[in-house]
Structure formats: C-alpha cells, structure tokens
Amino acid sequence: MNIAILRFGGSNCDLDVQKALNNLGVGAELVWYKETLKSFDGAIIPGGFSYGDYLRAGAIAARTKIMQSVAQMAADGKPVLGICNGAQILCESHLVPGTFTLNQYPKFICRWVKLRTVGKSPFTVLSNAIVDLPIAHKEGRYVVDPQLLKELYENDQVVFKYVDDNGLPTLAANPNGSLDNIAGISNLEKNVLAMMPHPERASEKLLGSADGNAIFESMVRHIKAL
C-alpha cells in the first residue's frame, strides 16, 4: 500500500502525516506538486500555509495541475483526505462543498477540541463517537449555502462537529463560528474528507491523544476493502 502525501510551497505538516502513517506500518510517499501523481492507493493533503494563504487559504494550491490528478483519484473512488490547509484546498478545488473562511474572531487558534463523529464515513469506521484532536487555524469557519446545508445533512456528508464535554454541539464548543459547528465535511460519494482538526498531531499518547490514528486506520481499512 502506498499513500501519496502532497507537498506544496508552504505545506508544513507533511512529515508529521508521513510519520503517523509509518507508525501504523503504512507506506507513504511525499509528492512535490510539480511531480506526477503516479498510481497511489489514496492521497492526503497535509496542513500548512500553501502559497502564504495568498488570495484565500488554499486558493492557489487548488489550481495546480496535481490537483487535477487528485480529482481523478477521487473520481476513481480512491480515498482523499485533506487536513487543515488540505481541507481548504479541497474546498477551493470543489471536491467537497462549501468553504472554510476567516474565523468569527479573526485570529489564529491553536488548541484541543472535542469532536463528535456525525455522519458515516470510510474515514471514521474505527473512530470513537467522540474524539480529542487539536486545531490550528485562522480560516476554519465553515460556510455553505443554507439550501446546500440541508442536502449535506440529507446525504450524510457532515462528518465531524465541534462539541462540548457532553457531546453537544453548543455555541461555547464552537471555536471559530463554523456553521452548525461543522469541523469536517465529505463529498457525496464519501471518499473525500476535508477536516480542519489535525489527526496527525494526535497520533501518539505522548502528544496528548492517539485518537487521530483511528482516522488513518479507517482510511487504510477502506483501501484494503476496495
């Protein structure tokens, strides 16, 4: 098995994702955006600040040629995971609906959050109902057209929500003003997931939580079942 980890100018969580996958015994190859995306079993777009977040977070990276190959992988049914800046890139590429924009209180937030796994997703089959993961972003407020939001619920595309200690998506548990506390969203086919929290930063107990591993393990299990 070989999973591609994309690198753009400004990606900075690439090695962390690779280490998290390697710890699980999964092969992961770093792919610079100018290279061709040869046959991989899945792709992860890691966090960072691609192209300095110029124009909008993820906007420039989304228009690179390699993202057309990622779109093809997604169309072929292979799993594609976007974390933080990777999630913003997936939105800007229209591979998932909506967009992640400036936080309600417009500053960078870096802290632990609780998430509830809401929808069914191949990325969460091994995951607990409530997981602890860190966030680190300034543009993480999810925005989508109200009509489309209704469809997202109908099609089970809302994957993660920010919740409080009781597992409820309260206003106080919403770190960035995201619509309906949404932290992760998938495409209609469920094989593309865009999430703002960082599973790779919660991939060892030493880091405070190993809840993130279940997301990578679920992805691997999904690939094996394909």
Partner 1 sequence: MFNYYDPTVTAMLYRAEITIKLKNGMLDPEATTIKNALKHLGYECQSVKQAATYELEFTADSRENATDLVNGMCQRLLANPIIHDYDVRITK
Positions marked catalytic: 84, 198, 200
List 55, 75, 129, 168, residue binding partner 1 (CB under 8 A)? 55
The stretch among 20-28, 95-103, 158-166, 214-222 that binds partner 1 (CB under 8 A) is 95-103
Residue 59 binds to partner 1 (criterion: CB under 8 A):
yes
List 105, 110, 120, 208, residue binding partner 1 (CB under 8 A)? 105
| Longest CA span, the chain | 46
Residue 48 binds to partner 1 (criterion: CB under 8 A):
no
Amino acid (one-letter) located at 11: S
Residue 19 binds to partner 1 (criterion: CB under 8 A):
no
Q: Which residues contact 123 (CB under 8 A, 6 or more apart)?
A: 79, 81, 159, 186, 193, 215, 218, 219, 222
Exposed e or buried b per residue across 117-135, where buried means at least 16 C-beta atoms within 10 angstroms of its C-beta:
bbbebbbbbebeeebbbbb
Q: How many Å from the N-terminal Cα to the C-terminal Cα in the chain? A: 12
CA triplet 157, 139, 55: central angle to 5 degrees?
110
Contact criterion met (CB below 8 Å) for 174 and 162: yes
Q: Is 155 exposed, middle or buried (0-12, 13-18, 19+ CB in 10 A)?
A: middle
User: How far is Cα 42 from Cα 116, in angstroms, rounded to an integer?
Assistant: 24
Residue 104 binds to partner 1 (criterion: CB under 8 A):
yes
Hey, how many other C-beta atoms are within 10 angstroms of the C-beta on 225? Answer: 8
Residue 109 binds to partner 1 (criterion: CB under 8 A):
no
Q: At its nearest, how many Å lie between partner 1 and the CB of residue 165?
A: 27
List 42, 98, 169, 197, residue binding partner 1 (CB under 8 A)? 98
The stretch among 19-27, 55-63, 73-81, 119-127 that binds partner 1 (CB under 8 A) is 55-63
User: How far is Cα 209 from Cα 212, in angstroms, rounded to an integer?
Assistant: 8
The stretch among 13-21, 108-116, 137-145, 197-205 that binds partner 1 (CB under 8 A) is 137-145
* 160 to 179: interface string for partner 1, x by CB under 8 A: -----------------x--
- Comparing CB distances to partner 1, the nearer of 98 and 134 is 98
Residue 103 binds to partner 1 (criterion: CB under 8 A):
yes
Residue 144 binds to partner 1 (criterion: CB under 8 A):
yes
- Comparing CB distances to partner 1, the nearer of 162 and 216 is 162
User: How far is Cα 37 from Cα 80, in angstroms, rounded to an integer?
Assistant: 13
- Note the residues at the interface with partner 1 (CB under 8 A): 55-56, 59, 63, 92, 98-99, 101-106, 141, 143-145, 177
